[in-house]
Structure 1
Amino acid sequence: MSTLISKLLNPGSRSQELRLIARNLLQLYKENRKNPSKHVVIFLLSLFSSTTVAVIYTLNKVISDIRDKRDSRPLYKRSSSTILKNGARELFIPYKNRQKRVIIQPTEPELYEKDKFKYKNFAKNIKTEEDHDKIFSSKFLNQLIIIWQILIPKVNDKNSIFLITQFFFLILRTWLSLLIAKLDGQIVKDIIGGKFRKFLRDLAYWFLMAVPASYTNSAIKYLVKKLSVNFRTNLTRYVHDMYLDPRMVYYKVMFNDQSIKDIDNFITTDINRFCNSICSLFSNIGKPMIDLVFFAVYLRDNLGTAGITGIFVNYFISAYILKRNTPPFGKLTKEKSALEGEYYNDHLNLITNSEEIAFYNGTNLEKIKINEIYDKMMNHVFKVNRIKVAYNVLEDYILKYTWSALGYLYASIPIFIISVKDDVKKSTEDRNMRQFIVNKRLMLNMADAGSRLMYSIKDISKLTGYTDRVFTLLTVLHQVHDGDFQFGSEDWNENIKGAIQYHYNGLRFEKINVIIPTINGGEGTKLINELDINLKQHESILILGMNGCGKTSIERILAGLWPLYHGLISKPNDDDIIYLPQKAYFSNGTLRDQLIYPMSHSEMLNEGKTDQDLIRILKEVRLEYLLDRDVGLNYLNSIHDWKDVLSGGEKQRVQFARILFKNPKFVVLDEATNAISSDIEAYLFDLLRKKNFAFITLSHRPLLIKYHDYLLEIHQDGNWSLETLGSDAAIISIEKEIKEIEDKLKDVDSQEDRKIQLENLLDGIQPKKLLSDQIAEID
């Protein structure tokens, strides 16, 4: 062999040796043409299957592109979504030079009603055992089984096909590893025996085997990532359909469990980590398990039953030792995720309220809060790292070194125990050498499989933490989504006694109690006692009261944000009511999007409305000058940060524009004109009355009574008074307010004198004494 290598390195003889190698390879091809080796067959089958998969994938992509081009729309149109007749959502996503059509099928309404009982029964049946860190604990398995029905909702789901395909490739990779181990022993035997032709043949087989082996590894990695994406898609869509349900779960969830304040972190980070963890775990456990089975069956013929038994006894002892010394990784992972979510929320709060914090000069306090949670999070990370040190030492010693040494021991059993005759000593030595190489490689592969299986203990512990987080999220969402959701209470069975009647031509409150949602339910803090109102069509009412008396709470109950614990509300359909909250909301988008919110552009066009209608509405609320800030009508398509571009009064007038665009039967105004000048305010209320809107105004300003038909005053003790307003009552109320202001103005002079006296005292100037006091001192 050394002579051959020296010749190959010699430039003079290199061409002759290359021709010799080429002749030998050609001769090997001729010898195997009629009876090809199984390695060649494996290579050809792999190449054929790869080509078949590539052709199918290409054809599917071509058909999909043709369908997309047929259903696509030009790129210059804004991406939008439309609800189809069957309830599916049609999306157009920018893709290359066009927009790709995507159909999202609706979630069955009955699905959540059926699934909620799984979570209710789980909460009832699960014992309060601290087993969330036990491998394959009953709590962990039950949670995983329930979530699994979301990941793979039916047997013939595409994810089932991906799982079966991944299992096939895992078996194929193990089988190829077994063949490569045999080929490795044969190559070593050829090198030591100086059999150059067989060495070249086996080396050629090695390169042929590398093709299906590489393809198999890539396919497994692809399937793991594909499954992870599909699992995350199913789980996220399931969560989104509940979280963004018309029952406004995204709002009500704050009343359920304060431990899930960072729900955004649950939905984004924890779901992603859970899906990646469970898909990786399937590959990390499936491959070692298959390796152990295949290699054990093969080694049993070489090592015997005693050798295989010793190997598995070693595995069980190692697993027991590692399990006894495994830290609570599941609990630590769950705590880490919670701290990361809290740290994220503090930064989000700083971004959301940056202007207010800057005005208050609260930088130092916010810095202390963020540094505090950051230090807490980092201390937890350092704690986890310290815990891992001792465990990693024990783990590496057992899995890397002990198992490798035992692998040599078990691989040498056939050589040291089996005796041979002298006349076949040489052939036996060759066989032993080859067999030892094969056994050694398989033993090392088994040791690697066993070590990866043991390493998976940590992965399983982490998965228990992610599973518990995701299951907690799903449980809370089902509790809030339930029609009998008890605000602030974990009891699924307590009923709310109040009732709401829809499709009523007007508005009627019958003995409703306004109660703050808490864990106490109907026994909580009562803001208003047995309120009675009967408002007919086209009538308006002004609700007056001090801050905190419960005015906005009435709006929350009417909109379904808060529960109605007692009484009856009769109101129009929800689509016929529009609510204007105290803080105007503006989405990311164009001016058109702000005016038609929450409708999309395509939905506006479907209703037969155009930009000319929006221009007319802008003129009606006296905002037509906004169109002159840019280039005419194109300003409707301009994208700005509208909450910063518009002033407070402009924001409130945009809300009135939304009223005119939607044209509802009923309007609820919560301090909707407190940033508007008095002349524009009068104009807007007259506009509402002119268009015959029925509206409720929540305010603390008595001057607004002249625009309403009724006045409801809420007192601090929860009592109330209702009166019908006429012109005389309005005038009397205004005169009363004017008199109160005049009385305050009369006292201005005395207050100014007192102010001067206090300033003199602060400056050390004694006040001048009266003349009578000076005469008394002289006497």
Structure 2
Amino acid sequence: MSVLGKILRFAKPYKTYGVLNVICNILYSIFNVLSIIIFIPTLGILFDKQEEVFEKPVYTGFSDLKSYGEDSLNYFLTQKVADDGPMAALAFICIASILIFFLKNFFRYAAMYFLAFLRTGMVKDIQDLLYKKTVSLPISFFSEKRKGDLLARMTTDVKEVESSVINSLEGLVREPITIVIVLISMLMLSAKLTLFVFLFLPVAGFLISAVGKKLKAKSQAAQKENGIFLSFLEETLSGLKVIKGFNAEKILGDKFTASTARYKEIMKSVLHRQGMASPFSEFLGVAVVITVLWYGGSLVFAANSNLKPQDFMGYIGLFYTIINPVKAITTINYNIKKGNAATERIYEILDLENPIADAPNALPITDLKQQIQFKNIGFKYQEDYVLQDFNLTVKKGQTVALVGQSGSGKSTVANLITRFYDVNDGEILIDGTNIKAFTKKSVRGLMGLVTQDSILFNDSVKNNIALGKENATEEEIVAAAKIANAHDFIMDLPNGYNTNIGDSGNKLSGGQKQRLSIARAVLKNPPIMVLDEATSALDTESERLVQDALEKMMQNRTSLVIAHRLSTIQNADLIVVMQKGKILEQGTHEELLNSNKGYKRLVEMQNLA
């Protein structure tokens, strides 16, 4: 029920369809019972056992409803046989049966029709919420979790919930209603026989449920292994060049087959239990039917019995009708247990608290007026501090460059100013106000980000650039591309700005991809630019074009530049040399060359003295 409670919260927007489904299922169940009962008088006519009633019955109250209904039908049939013969009565019953079966199946379809809106809507809402939750989580979450495992939760686990839990909603509503209505009808036909039946159904249900006790645990293990499998596949496809270059196909192939072997063993156990459920429950159902047949037959043959042969045959039909809903409920129980594991994995993501959240009274910020200040900053990703006692002021309009060896904390500064992470100690101030006092969206709205890895999407050139500004016009996109030195190569593409650039922009060169990233940042037109080693992965010619584009973009903007190639930051207003998370020295290019400290050594290593 906890699983259903979690899943049914997604059904609230579609409760109207749920109510219509319940109404249709009630009507379906009523006509389902009538489709059995209507054959009782048919049997009476065929075997000349039909009770004749010559006086029209009088309705005396609800307690006498069964007798009134039987007597009314028998009175009508008696009149029909007397006036037109038994064939006319039989023809009437046949026509009535066709109508009842039509209505039964009509309401069954209508119930499924309305449920389709609820089912598809719930699946969509789960996927939408899971996606929104995933993209809202901090960057730190994705460094700890396997991407493949997240993909498994968003695809395989959602499909598992759909097939196991959501698809069970139809039976969860219809089968209990059918059971109740059929049981009421059975009690009306023979209370004594029905009470006897109640002795056997709980025993059969207990035996059937015993088969699936460990199904949830096995299903959870299967979902976890599937996440490992997808993660491994994602890593393989991403690192295919390295795998081939180091002839590591066999090593990774062995790991892959080990994962699929574990998944095979787990799923084999799950499928064995599932396979046992249906034949085992059918055998028990038949055993109960035969037992009821024996006991009911003894009641029919007993002296002064109130159970007529045609009533007993109708009773057997009703009882056989109730077996399928009972079996279906046990199947639903299996499915919900199976879907429980997937539901828990989905809710592990949905229930996560985002540590980098807006304060309750957070306000938007629209512009940088004076300066950005890093004040006594201390930060660590795990145990060891990456930044310690870091102090830096970036004034409006300045270009400040951070340089230093790998691991000195340069990129961490960029991660903190964009609030991809929050500081452990100290504070970051924008115009004297702590960055946490502003909304994340507005803080990031102030900034344009160009990273070493050009993050592009499998879409057209135009749409990749337009990501920087909602509802951007074509003229604005072209102008941004020209500033980024990208317009010329774009026009040489097969479809110009409408050319699809492939997965991660793989149809373009490194320099072309980087210039598109710059065009995207230019189109956003932010007051603050954050450039994280934007030219380090480029060849000399591409670097020249990209550097020219960067210089155009940084004009009249506050810029924080993280640089590996010192040739790109010689004109910066302030160069900050970092070492092991602390500032070693800072100043202009000329000042730092004359200081004979860390910066000069870095310059000499790059032959720029």
TM norm. shorter chain > 0.5? yes
Note if contact 1:652-1:676 (Cα within 8 Å) is conserved in structure 2: no
Q: Residue 309 and residue 226 in structure 1: after superposition, are their counterparts in 2 closer, same or farther (change >3 A)?
A: same
Q: Are residue 722 (structure 1) and residue 585 (structure 2) matched? A: yes
- What is the rounded CA distance, in whole Å, between the counterparts of 2:468 and 2:486 in structure 1? 20
- Equivalent position of 2:264 in the other structure: 378
- Equivalent position of 1:707 in the other structure: 571
Q: Offset at 1:405?
A: 1.0
- What is the rounded CA distance, in whole Å, between the counterparts of 1:455 and 1:616 in structure 2? 62
- Equivalent position of 1:587 in the other structure: 457
* SS, match of residue 422 in structure 2: coil
- What is the rounded CA distance, in whole Å, between the counterparts of 2:174 and 2:288 in structure 1? 18
Q: How many residues align?
A: 551
Q: Residue 316 and residue 703 in structure 1: after superposition, are their counterparts in 2 closer, same or farther (change >3 A)?
A: same
- Equivalent position of 2:487 in the other structure: 624
List per-residue Cα deviations over 1:155-206 (Å, max 9, x = no partner).
Answer: xx4x222222221122212211221112223334444559433333322222
- What is the rounded CA distance, in whole Å, between the counterparts of 1:398 and 1:260 in structure 2? 46
- Equivalent position of 1:169 in the other structure: 24
- What is the rounded CA distance, in whole Å, between the counterparts of 2:145 and 2:600 in structure 1? 49
Q: Residue 234 and residue 480 in structure 1: after superposition, are their counterparts in 2 closer, same or farther (change >3 A)?
A: farther
Match for 1:268 among 155, 174, 185? 155
- What is the rounded CA distance, in whole Å, between the counterparts of 1:557 and 1:736 in structure 2? 28
Q: Are residue 228 (structure 1) and residue 119 (structure 2) matched? A: yes
Note if contact 1:540-1:696 (Cα within 8 Å) is conserved in structure 2: yes
- Name the aligned partner's letter for residue 394 of structure 2: L
List per-residue Cα deviations over 1:508-546 (Å, max 9, x = no partner).
Answer: 100001311x4xxxxx21012110001111111221121
- Equivalent position of 2:497 in the other structure: 636
Note if contact 1:407-1:444 (Cα within 8 Å) is conserved in structure 2: no
Q: Residue 739 and residue 299 in structure 1: after superposition, are their counterparts in 2 closer, same or farther (change >3 A)?
A: closer
List per-residue Cα deviations over 1:549-596 (Å, max 9, x = no partner).
Answer: 221111111111112111111237422211111100111222222323
Note if contact 2:574-2:587 (Cα within 8 Å) is conserved in structure 1: yes
Q: Are residue 599 (structure 1) and residue 469 (structure 2) matched? A: yes
- Equivalent position of 2:215 in the other structure: 329
How high is the TM-score relative to the length of structure 2?
0.81
Q: Are residue 445 (structure 1) and residue 332 (structure 2) matched? A: no
Q: Residue 647 and residue 571 in structure 1: after superposition, are their counterparts in 2 closer, same or farther (change >3 A)?
A: farther
Q: Residue 163 and residue 480 in structure 1: after superposition, are their counterparts in 2 closer, same or farther (change >3 A)?
A: farther
- What is the rounded CA distance, in whole Å, between the counterparts of 2:246 and 2:336 in structure 1? 48
Q: Residue 446 and residue 201 in structure 1: after superposition, are their counterparts in 2 closer, same or farther (change >3 A)?
A: same
Q: Are residue 513 (structure 1) and residue 350 (structure 2) matched? A: no
- Equivalent position of 1:55 in the other structure: none
Q: Equivalences for 1:671-690 in 2 at 5 Å?
A: 671-674=533-536, 675-677=538-540, 679-680=544-545, 683-684=548-549, 686-688=551-553
- Name the aligned partner's letter for residue 267 of structure 1: M
- What is the rounded CA distance, in whole Å, between the counterparts of 2:124 and 2:550 in structure 1? 48
Q: Offset at 1:649?
A: 1.8
- Name the aligned partner's letter for residue 585 of structure 2: L
Q: Are residue 465 (structure 1) and residue 350 (structure 2) matched? A: no
Q: Offset at 1:436?
A: 2.3
Long gaps (5+) in structure 1: 1-135, 421-427, 485-499, 519-523, 744-779
- Equivalent position of 1:363 in the other structure: 249
- What is the rounded CA distance, in whole Å, between the counterparts of 1:352 and 1:471 in structure 2? 28
- What is the rounded CA distance, in whole Å, between the counterparts of 1:626 and 1:239 in structure 2? 38
Q: Residue 410 and residue 165 in structure 1: after superposition, are their counterparts in 2 closer, same or farther (change >3 A)?
A: farther
Q: Residue 659 and residue 386 in structure 1: after superposition, are their counterparts in 2 closer, same or farther (change >3 A)?
A: closer
Q: Are residue 145 (structure 1) and residue 5 (structure 2) matched? A: yes
- What is the rounded CA distance, in whole Å, between the counterparts of 1:697 and 1:416 in structure 2? 98
- What is the rounded CA distance, in whole Å, between the counterparts of 1:448 and 1:318 in structure 2? 13
Note if contact 2:138-2:356 (Cα within 8 Å) is conserved in structure 1: no
Match for 2:175 among 288, 305, 308? 288
Match for 2:291 among 391, 400, 406? 406
- Name the aligned partner's letter for residue 17 of structure 2: F
Q: Are residue 570 (structure 1) and residue 429 (structure 2) matched? A: yes
Note if contact 1:509-1:531 (Cα within 8 Å) is conserved in structure 2: yes
- Name the aligned partner's letter for residue 18 of structure 2: L
Q: Residue 280 and residue 590 in structure 1: after superposition, are their counterparts in 2 closer, same or farther (change >3 A)?
A: closer
- Name the aligned partner's letter for residue 453 of structure 1: I
- Equivalent position of 2:437 in the other structure: none
- What is the rounded CA distance, in whole Å, between the counterparts of 2:10 and 2:400 in structure 1? 48
Q: Are residue 694 (structure 1) and residue 562 (structure 2) matched? A: no
Q: Residue 302 and residue 659 in structure 1: after superposition, are their counterparts in 2 closer, same or farther (change >3 A)?
A: closer
- Name the aligned partner's letter for residue 401 of structure 2: L
* SS, match of residue 585 in structure 1: coil
RMSD value, Cα:
3.3
- Name the aligned partner's letter for residue 407 of structure 1: V
- What is the rounded CA distance, in whole Å, between the counterparts of 2:246 and 2:141 in structure 1? 30
Q: Offset at 1:264?
A: 2.4
Q: Are residue 528 (structure 1) and residue 387 (structure 2) matched? A: yes
Q: Residue 679 and residue 457 in structure 1: after superposition, are their counterparts in 2 closer, same or farther (change >3 A)?
A: closer
Deviates more, 1:433-442 or 1:728-737: 728-737
* SS, match of residue 21 in structure 2: helix
Q: Equivalences for 1:125-204 in 2 at 5 Å?
A: 136=1, 141=2, 144-152=4-12, 157=13, 159-193=14-48, 195-204=86-95
- Equivalent position of 1:301 in the other structure: 188
- Equivalent position of 2:76 in the other structure: none
Q: Are residue 556 (structure 1) and residue 426 (structure 2) matched? A: no
List per-residue Cα deviations over 1:693-740 (Å, max 9, x = no partner).
Answer: 221221233334412122222213x33223221545458889866755
* SS, match of residue 531 in structure 2: strand
- What is the rounded CA distance, in whole Å, between the counterparts of 2:529 and 2:535 in structure 1? 14
* Percent identity over paired residues: 13
Deviates more, 1:525-534 or 1:406-415: 406-415
Long gaps (5+) in structure 2: 49-84, 360-364, 432-442
- Equivalent position of 1:454 in the other structure: 330
Note if contact 2:376-2:427 (Cα within 8 Å) is conserved in structure 1: yes
Q: Residue 179 and residue 687 in structure 1: after superposition, are their counterparts in 2 closer, same or farther (change >3 A)?
A: closer
Q: Residue 454 and residue 310 in structure 1: after superposition, are their counterparts in 2 closer, same or farther (change >3 A)?
A: farther
Note if contact 1:174-1:294 (Cα within 8 Å) is conserved in structure 2: yes
How high is the TM-score relative to the length of structure 1?
0.64
Note if contact 2:402-2:576 (Cα within 8 Å) is conserved in structure 1: yes
Match for 2:104 among 203, 213, 216? 213
* SS, match of residue 575 in structure 2: strand
- What is the rounded CA distance, in whole Å, between the counterparts of 2:98 and 2:422 in structure 1? 71
Q: Residue 240 and residue 359 in structure 1: after superposition, are their counterparts in 2 closer, same or farther (change >3 A)?
A: same
Note if contact 2:11-2:118 (Cα within 8 Å) is conserved in structure 1: no
Deviates more, 1:369-378 or 1:528-537: 369-378
- What is the rounded CA distance, in whole Å, between the counterparts of 1:397 and 1:686 in structure 2? 80
Note if contact 1:617-1:660 (Cα within 8 Å) is conserved in structure 2: yes
* SS, match of residue 23 in structure 2: helix
* SS, match of residue 387 in structure 2: strand
Note if contact 1:545-1:700 (Cα within 8 Å) is conserved in structure 2: yes
Q: Offset at 1:454?
A: 3.0
* SS, match of residue 707 in structure 1: coil
Note if contact 2:153-2:342 (Cα within 8 Å) is conserved in structure 1: no
Q: Residue 456 and residue 628 in structure 1: after superposition, are their counterparts in 2 closer, same or farther (change >3 A)?
A: closer
* SS, match of residue 372 in structure 2: strand
Q: Residue 706 and residue 695 in structure 1: after superposition, are their counterparts in 2 closer, same or farther (change >3 A)?
A: same
